[in-house]
Amino acid sequence: MEDKRVMNGPVVLVRGAGEQASGVGWALAKAGFRVVMTEVAKPLMVRWPVCFGTAVAEGKWQVEGIPARRVEDSKACEGAWSAGEIPVLVDPDLKGLPVLNPSVLVDAIMAKRNLGTRQGMASRTIGLGPGFTAGTDVDVVVETNRGHHLGRLIYSGAAEPNTGIPGVIAGFSKERVIYSPKAGLFKAKRAIGEQVLAGDCLGTVDDGVRAEDVFSSINGVLRGLLRTDTPVAALVKIGDVDPRGHEEYCWTISEKARAIGTAVLLGIMELEQRPN
């Protein structure tokens, strides 16, 4: 069921509309903020069923009761907010920033480096994970590394450095993630939500010369997989097998994204109590 609430709070611009960004957008929309999310024209989203960025291709999308729709310019955001929708704007360079004039800007691109966010873009700025330093380029950094400190708010300094190793789920880390063996066009052969076994072919990457199969390394449920006909670079994450095997996890926000979203909401509330 859709949540028909009217979003009439302060404007929060979230850079990125992938999995973790969507956890942020969802939490803030539930709290009544006027959330707008920006994306690239062809986002790479492995867990696209739970990403508001899917609206870029589909026009409309919904994550856990909160609807989103693609808008073509910043002026169209007001109509989406009035309808209880998150507007998703293809604007990676933030050309619409002066029109939106957000109270808060959250960089949730999860690029492991800062792609241009800086203090002054909004009254308050928040960066997720490695690549940001609180007090230098953003006001607050949110820890995104799984473990004891996930969701911690950092007001001075940086998040833990990127380890390059996926978080452990049910004893599996790197084994549960599938990467593209080369650059090319990805073609899916399985669907998100299916149970797979180690050795099952999940899809192919075709560079125009030869199509190379990609396989699951473990048993589990296919929690994430790029949409078919997605162009990929070499060694890009294209799939995610969850060894816990619960299909319902495929269609709901993960515990990590939910924790990060809650942390951002808390960070905004704390920042509002601090003098400018």
Count the alpha carbons within 13 Å of 112 in the hemisphere toward its beta carbon: 6
pLDDT in tens, 22-56: 999 999 999 999 999 999 999 999 999 999 999 99
Please write the tens of the pLDDT for every residue from 84-113. 999 999 999 999 999 999 999 999 999 999
Helix, strand or coil for residue 185? strand
Domain coordinates in residue numbering, the chain? 11-162+255-272, 174-243
Position 1 confidence tier, pLDDT thresholds 50, 70, 90? very low
pLDDT digits (tens, 9 = 90+) for 217-253: 999 999 999 999 999 999 999 999 999 999 999 999 9
Give the CATH architecture of domain 174-243: Beta Barrel (2.40)
Distance CA 145, CA 159 (A): 8
**Architecture category of domain 11-162+255-272 in CATH:** 3-Layer(aba) Sandwich (3.40)
pLDDT at 273: 84
Which pLDDT value is given to residue 157?
Answer: 95
- Span between the terminal Cα atoms of the chain, in Å: 40
d(CA 206, CA 183): 8
By the 8 A CB rule, do 23 and 32 touch? no
Query: In 3-state terms, the chain is what percent helix, strand and coil (to 5)?
Result: 20, 30, 50
What burial letters (b/e) apply to 169-183, b meaning 16+ CB within 10 Å? beebeebbbbebbee
Does the reported pTM lie above 0.85?
yes
Mean pLDDT value across residues 183-195: 97
Instruction: Check: CB of residue 176 under 8 Å from CB of residue 241.
Output: yes
**For residue 7, what pLDDT band results from cuts at 50, 70 and 90?**
confident
Give the Cα separation of 20 and 260 in Å (integer): 7
Model pLDDT, residue 276: 60
11-162+255-272 and 174-243: same fold?
no
Tell me, what's the pLDDT at 165?
77
pLDDT (0 to 100) of residue 255: 95
